[in-house]
Structure 1
C-alpha cells in the first residue's frame, strides 16, 4: 500500500482556501486588537477648535504664571498653525499633517515658544485626566538634562514605558561616565522606547540631520527618530524679554 505523502505547510496554505481564510481572519482580529491597545493609551478630546483654542490660551497663561511670568499667553501667526495641528492630533483628525500614531517633535530657534506650547499641552492633558478621573497615563514633561540625570541615579526602566515630553533634545551631554564606564543614557532610552512603541514627544533647536550626526545621537537613533516623531517647525524669533 502506497504511503500517503505529507504536505508541507506551504502546500496546505496554498491548497486549502478555508485554512487560509481562517488565518487571515485571525490576523485581522489581532491587528484590530493591537490598534485598540494603542488607542487606549491616547487621550482624544471631543472639542471644537474654538473651545480647544480658548482652553489652550488659559492653560498657556497658567504655564507662564508657573514660570513666574506675569503675562498672558498670546496666540499669533507663528504659533496658531502649531496649536491647530495639536488640535487635529488630540482629536484624531485626518487633517493632521503627519502620522497620528507618532509623537510630535517641535523644532525651532531658541526662545520661539516650543517649550511653552508642549508644556501647556501637558498641563491641559493631565488636568483633564485628573479632573475627570480618566484611565489614561499622565504625560511627564522633563528636560533632557534632568532626564539623563534621573536615568543615571535611578533606573532606565522607570522611563521606558512612561509617556514623555522631553524638552530640549540635544542639549544634554551625549555620553556619561558611570563607575568608569561610558554610557549613553538618552540614546539607550530612545532605542528601548522605539522598540516597544512608547509615545514620545519633544522639543529641539536642532534639525533631524544634526540630531542624527555622530556628534549627537548617531545614525541609528536618528533613523528611529523618523518612526517616533512628526517633526514640526515653529517659526519666529525669541519671544523672551
Structure 2
C-alpha cells in the first residue's frame, strides 16, 4: 500500500483485516472489504484515527467533516458505523437517519433543528457532538401544524455556523451527487458543504452489497 512511504504509527493492512473481521461479527459472515473499496476505507481509517500524515497524503483536512457519497447499497452506513469504535470520544459520530429526523420534525416541530445544532453539545461543556446524518436526500418534505420546512437544510446551515464558531464536525452519507444536492437543498447550502466537508466517493462501479 502507498502508505508504506509515510510516517505513521498504524499498520493499515492489519487494520483492514481487523475491520473486515469486525464487520463479519456485526453484519454477518458475508461482509467483505472489496478491493475496489479499499481507497475509501483507507481514507476513512486515516480520518477517524486522526492520522495526520496519512490524512494529509490522502488530501483530507481533519478540521472538516466527511461527505461520503456512493450508489445505493455500496456500504456507506456500514463503514461509518464500523469506524465509530476507532474514534476518540469527542470524534465518535452519533449516527442519525435523515428520514427519522423528518418524522421527528412532523411530531415535535422546530425544536428538532435546535436538538441537532445549537443544543448538540456534551452536557455542561462547550464540546460539540459529532453527528453523522445518514442517507441525506431520502427524507420527505414534512409539515408541522401546516408549516413546511426543509429540515435538513436548516440543520446543516446551523451546523455550518457552529463549525465556524465552535469547530462542530458533521458527517453525511448520501446517494446524491453534487448537482442533486443543489437541486434538493439549494446553492446556498451546497457552497457551505464544499467548505465544511472532505468529499469521499465510492467508485461508481462498486457493487450493491445488499444483493
Equivalent of 2:96 in 136, 139, 142: 142
Equivalent of 1:92 in 52, 60, 63: 52
Q: Say if 1:196 and 1:48 are closer, same or farther in 2 by CA, change over 3 A.
A: same
Mapped pair 1:63 → 2:31: no
Determine the C-alpha separation between the residues in 2 that align with 1:92 and 1:62.
29
**Which consecutive aligned stretches of 4+ in structure 1 deviate over 3 angstroms post-superposition?**
none
Mapped pair 1:108 → 2:70: yes
Mapped pair 1:189 → 2:189: no
Determine the C-alpha separation between the residues in 2 that align with 1:199 and 1:100.
10
Deviation of 1:137 (Å): 5.6
Determine the C-alpha separation between the residues in 2 that align with 1:86 and 1:119.
11
Determine the C-alpha separation between the residues in 2 that align with 1:60 and 1:88.
18
Partner of 1:31: none
For residues 80-137 of structure 1, give each alpha carbon's deviation from its aligned partner in whole angstroms, at most 9, with x where no partner exists.
1111111222212321223222111111111122221112112x236xx5xxxxx536
Deviation of 1:205 (Å): 1.0
Partner of 1:155: 112
Larger Rg: 1
Partner of 2:135: 168
SS in 1 for 2:143: strand
Partner of 1:179: 145
Partner of 2:126: none
Determine the C-alpha separation between the residues in 2 that align with 1:120 and 1:148.
25
Partner of 2:31: 73
For residues 215-238 of structure 1, give each alpha carbon's deviation from its aligned partner in whole angstroms, at most 9, with x where no partner exists.
x11111111110121121112121
- List runs of 5+ in structure 1 lacking aligned partners: 1-44, 65-69, 130-134
Determine the C-alpha separation between the residues in 1 that align with 2:112 and 2:198.
28
For residues 51-84 of structure 1, give each alpha carbon's deviation from its aligned partner in whole angstroms, at most 9, with x where no partner exists.
42233223322331xxxxx324312222111111
